[in-house]
Amino acid sequence: MSLNAPVATFPQDADGVLKLAAQSMFEVLAGATEGMMVVDRQHRIVWISDGYKRFLPALGFGSETEFVGRRVEEVVPNSLMGQVIDSGKPILVDLISNQSGTFLVSRLPLRDEAGAVIGGLGFVLLDHPETNMQPLMSKFGRMQSELEETRRQLAAEQSKARRPKHTIASFIGASPAALEVKRQARRAAQSQATVLLLGETGTGKELLAHAIHAASQRSHKPLVSINIAAVPDTLLEAEFFGVAPGAYTGADRKGRDGKFRLADGGTLFLDEIGDMPLPLQSKLLRVLQEQEFEPLGSNQVIKVDARVIAATSRDLQAMVARGEFRADLYYRLNVLPILVPPLRERLGDLEALVDTLMDDIARRSGMAHKMLSAGALEWLQQRPWPGNIRELRNVLEQASLMSDESVLDEASFAAYAQPGPLPLGGPAQAPSAPAAPAARTAAEPAARAAAAGETLRPLPELIAQVERDAIAQALSLTGGNRLAAARLLQISRASLYERLTRWPELGLAWKNTAIAQ
């Protein structure tokens, strides 16, 4: 353009310039873009450009008249036009995907002279950006499929989390003793009363606690567990009742909810209740009676509605008699007692248990499901099982891992059958009965002493050997579960830990073992 060219048609005032710009832009965009639409304040489409009309069949419309007048969100899936109108904020560049394809779009609010939003303007800047903007589109495609996959996984996780960990049917067994346990568990699930699960280690008390909760009216609320033996005495009170903000410095400065509060509306599972220190027993009794408590460092009374299920492998009655457990708390807990039988009293269930456990072992390890020969089953039937189902599971797991065969026979359990110290806490029928003592001879006392001197070792050394063997065996029976091992040995957990510092190799052997429980 020459400097002398006429400019008479160009507006001289700012308003005129803006109007001209807006008008030209509208015309250019309507012609140059792939399509355009105008929407009113109520999100209703009032106009579409000629270019836009070719998208109508893919959107499911035969004519412009069917499309215009409808709310944009009803006819253009995934449109954000309504959001632009409601917020007054433009979306300058965006990708939209629906059944008519993927498009690069731009959306602007339309304002009246006073600045109020009266509608919106949408352009399709690029149709099929997948060919025009290949790299960007493939990234977008990848992100979309990742998002879909994440959504799918999240939905699967959520439904898995909602599914109960154990139901009453997960308690395997059809023997009269097992059926009686299940009958009592079902009855307990229908009531709100406190349940006391009594039985040896590894008999399924924790499984039953989960199952009773899952079958109860409280199943939509949480089951909160606390293993009393695993928490140091000094921390138990805070663990139960929580800590008020500011009560302590450090980690608890902000305060923390206790298990009672977390279980409100649901179930509180008090595992190893026999290990509850006496001073805390009276506080627990008060909460059970009054359904209220005060967090540590606070005098605010908190009401709770938590159904209690307690469990122990200790003889609570004997503890009451010895003054180690409060009689009033015992009676308060013992409302619905369920005696969970040891495996040796329901050996008829062993085959079904083996089947289920082998299935689970195969699923978790990714190995093929292995079978057991009749001889192997018979051999298992003759074991004393002091560690009960947990021990059975560990034995099966070890044998499966050690053997390449698809059928496990007696030889597959050879490592477990090695003669060693007698099983702990088990019944009298130990696997390898000690040999009968040799008949006394009339040998000279001096000669006997000399002979013994060759084999006799110092007493402290012998005692240490017995201790070491017993700990090794208890860890083996419980699959490395130190708490259960301490229980079998009838020593405290601290005392087991102390001994393990003397023989660290025993602890290390189980350090990385996944304990299935």
Ligand X SMILES: Nc1ncnc2c1ncn2[C@@H]1O[C@H](COP(=O)(O)OP(=O)(O)OP(=O)(O)O)[C@@H](O)[C@H]1O
Residues in touch with ligand X (CB under 6 A): 171-173, 199, 201-207, 271, 311, 313, 353, 356, 389-390, 393, 484, 516-517
For residue 81, the one-letter residue type is: M
Q: 207 or 214: whose CB is closer to ligand X?
A: 207
Instruction: State which residue, 46 or 516, has the beta carbon closest to ligand X.
Output: 516
Closer to ligand X by CB, 206 or 239: give it. 206
CB of 211 to ligand X, least distance (A): 10
Which residue type occupies 408?
A: L
Report helix, strand or coil for 9: coil
Q: Judged by CB, which is closer to ligand X: 282, or 517?
A: 517
Rounded CA gap, 208 and 352, in Å?
Answer: 18
The whole-angstrom separation of Cα 166 and Cα 442 is 64
CB-based contacts of 302: which residues, under 8 Å, 6+ apart? Answer: 260, 261, 292, 293, 294, 295
Task: For residue 236, give the amino acid letter.
Answer: L
Instruction: Write down the least CB distance from residue 75 to ligand X, Å.
Output: 55
**Shortest spacing between CB 183 and ligand X, in angstroms:** 14
Q: Which residue is nearest to ligand X (CB)?
A: 204
| Least Å from the CB of residue 230 to ligand X | 10
Q: How many Cα atoms within 13 Å fall on the side-chain side of residue 388?
A: 19
Q: Report the residue number, 60 or 427, with the smaller CB distance to ligand X.
A: 427
Q: How far is the CB of 386 from ligand X (least distance, A)?
A: 11
**Amino acid at site 5:** A
| Dist. CA 190–CA 122, nearest whole Å | 60
Question: 214 with 307: CB under 8 angstroms?
Answer: no
Residue of 375, 385, 363 lying closest to 414 (CA atoms)? 375
Cα–Cα dist 72/69, whole Å: 9
Q: Are 72 and 121 in contact (CB under 8 A)?
A: no
- Closest CB 214 distance from ligand X, rounded Å: 14
CB of 206 to ligand X, least distance (A): 3
Closest approach, Cβ 70 to ligand X, in A, equals: 58
Query: What is 441-459 written as a DSSP string?
Result: P---HHHHHHHHHHH---H
Residue number, 472 or 474, with CB nearest to ligand X? 474
Task: Using the minimum distance from each CB to ligand X, give the nearer residue, 200 or 239.
Answer: 200
Q: DSSP letters along 362-431, please?
A: HHHHTPPPPEE-HHHHHHHHTS--TTHHHHHHHHHHHHHHH--SSEE-GGGGHHHHS--SPPSS--S--S
Residue 342: DSSP 8-state: P
Task: Look at residues 443, 11, 385, 451 and name the one whose alpha carbon lies nearest to residue 202.
Answer: 385
CB 171 to ligand X: min, Å: 4
Residue 428 amino acid letter: A
- Positive or negative torsion for Cα 149, 150, 156, 157: positive
Q: For ligand X, which is the closer residue by CB, 81 or 399?
A: 399
Q: Which is nearer to ligand X, 125 or 236 (CB)?
A: 236
Start-to-end CA distance of the chain, whole Å, equals: 86
Closer by beta carbon to ligand X, 261 or else 390: 390
* Nearest distance in Å: CB 201, ligand X: 4
